[in-house]
Amino acid sequence: MSHDPVVNEVRKIRRKIEEECEKRGETYFEYILREQQKNHARLVSFTAPVSKTSRHKSSTG
């Protein structure tokens, strides 16, 4: 397994946030939801494209 310094830093920060959440009696998930609501203008959202279905007339014969 390779050791990526960026991945290691992200994991370190997540552990710190999880410890802070535990002190406040909050889950990491609750923290993430609160942060998303607080910073909603900075988030990117994605709407899945609607698939176009072709309608074929059934032929008889």
What average pLDDT does range 31-48 have in this prediction?
88
Residue range 22-32, pLDDT digits in tens: 999 999 999 99
Res. 16: pLDDT tops 90 = yes
Of the chain, the percentage scoring pLDDT greater than 70 comes to 85
Mean pLDDT of the chain: 86
What average pLDDT does range 49-56 have in this prediction?
70
- The total of other beta-carbon atoms located within 10 Å of residue 45's CB is 5
Provide the residue type at 44 as one letter.
V
What whole-number distance in Å separates Cα of residue 60 and Cα of residue 58? 7
Query: What is the b/e burial string over 16-38, where b = at least 16 CB atoms within 10 angstroms of the residue's CB?
Result: eeeeebeeeeeeeeeeeeeeeee
Q: What is the pLDDT of residue 30?
A: 96
